[in-house]
Amino acid sequence: MKLRSYLLLANTISIAFIIILLLVFFQYMLVTREQLIWLGIATVGAGIVSALLFYLLVRPLEASVRRVSEGAARIAAGDLEARVENTGLTEFKLLADQFNTMGTNLEQSFRQVKTAEAAQRELVANMAHDLRTPLASMQSYAEALEDGVIQDEATYRRYVTTIRSETVRLSELIQDLFELSTLDAGARSREESQPAVVEDVLLELHPRFSLQLEAKELQLRVRLPDRSLRVNMLARHLQRVLQNLIENAVRYSPQEGIIVIAAEELEGELIRISVIDEGAGIAEAERERIFERFYRTDRSRSRQGGGAGIGLSIAKLLVEQYGGRIGVEQAEGQGSRFWFTVQEVKMVQ
């Protein structure tokens, strides 16, 4: 039943009720015949006027309801941009506002789902690509060895070495992926956190880079405060963050470049550790994106032997798990300054 018919029916029922009452009064001689006629005419007249008023006043109400229902129908049909004009009676203005807020939220959630889906697809495509590249290279070298086309010892050794280094790359990639998934699942939160000593972590890391540093004739300079620096991070996590930053600094440094690792005190017992290189630096537009997983700048994508683009996202996840921040800025002169913050743990005297 329509709203208008409903109100008219209510009006007719109340008039009928008054007329029945008048007839009852007349029956028991409470009113005279003449009074009954006048009261009857007055009641019917008032009924007609109120029906007319109902009819007219209900129109803006109907229009408001129609606007909201049309908006809902458009949203139901998939048009998430549908909004309702908020005019008319106060209650309907409120309803329209709430409807529009719901539409905006719905649209935002839908967009987020779409973005997440696209990111997921990109992630799978990148993973497939990064796993396939070393596999394809190993396959072709192994086939060449199998065919027996290689005659000289040097080429044979080179092929075997390449296969070996590709297996290392593959297993590192799988390890990174594993680490990323366990970090996502928040596996650390249950572990007991023991403060790490920065200089110990650096000493442990140094041998891993010595060959690469030598090969590129790079200088590594470490600037730490005089006291022993303990920070609120598990040693293996600090090691992982520093390893990823130093690995990149070595990879993107020019021949004979200088890499500086420095720690400085900020306010509130916060320590900022920086890894500075003299490489080509990172364009401002890319400084946020390089911390996304699998993101590589075009320059490094075309470069041979680059990583898979996971290193910085692992570092970011780790640093943020301890409440720190990570970022990159242009180093003085040329190059990049990657930094992260971590809370210092002061020894109780």
The residue (of 163 and 290) whose beta carbon lies closer to ligand ADP is 290
Pairing of strands 196-197, 230-231: antiparallel
Pairing of strands 258-265, 219-223: parallel
Task: Please say which residue, 234 or 315, places its beta carbon nearer to ligand ADP.
Answer: 315
- Least distance (Å) between residue 281 CB and ligand ADP: 6
Q: What is the DSSP letter of 29?
A: T
Nearest to ligand ADP of 71, 281 (CB atom): 281
Cα separation of 100 and 103, whole Å?
Answer: 5
Phi, psi (deg, nearest 5) at residue 82: -65, 130
CA atoms within 13 A on the CB side of 287: 16
The angle subtended at Cα 330 by Cα 324 and Cα 332, nearest 5°, is: 115
163 vs 173, beta carbon nearer ligand ADP:
173
112 vs 167, which CB is nearer to ligand ADP? 167
Shorter beta-carbon distance to ligand ADP: residue 82 or 238: 238
Spatial CA neighbour of 137 closest among 114, 107, 169? 169
Q: Which residues of 297-326 are buried (b: 16+ CB within 10 A; e: fewer)?
A: beebeeeeeebbbbbbbbbbbbbebbebeb
Nearest distance from C-beta of residue 301 to ligand ADP, angstroms: 7
| Beta carbon of residue 147, minimum distance to ligand ADP (angstroms, whole number) | 33
Q: In terms of CB distance, is 31 or 218 closer to ligand ADP?
A: 218
Tell me which residue has its CB nearest to ligand ADP. Answer: 307
Neighbours of 209 (CB within 10 A): 17
Q: List residues binding ligand ADP (CB under 6 A).
A: 244, 248-249, 252, 277, 279, 282, 290, 295-297, 300, 306-313, 336
Determine the Cα–Cα distance for residues 217 and 255; give it in Å rounded to an integer: 6
* CA distances, 230 to each of 129, 324, 325, 342, 345 (Å): 40, 15, 17, 10, 5
To ligand ADP, the closest distance from the beta carbon of 201 in angstroms equals: 18
Residue 106: CB minimum distance to ligand ADP, A: 35
Closest by CA position to 238, among listed 271, 266, 209: 271
Cβ proximity to ligand ADP, 109 vs 175, nearer residue: 175
Nearer to ligand ADP, 103 or 311 (CB): 311
Residue 286 beta carbon to ligand ADP: minimum distance, rounded to whole angstroms: 7
Nearest distance in Å: CB 270, ligand ADP: 23
What burial class does residue 290 get, using C-beta atoms within 10 Å of its C-beta: 0-12 exposed, 13-18 middle, 19+ buried?
buried
Rounded distance between C-alpha atoms, residue 56 and residue 64, angstroms: 14
Minimum Å gap between C-beta 342 and ligand ADP is 19
Phi, psi of 279 (to 5 degrees): -75, -165
CB of 212 to ligand ADP, least distance (A): 13
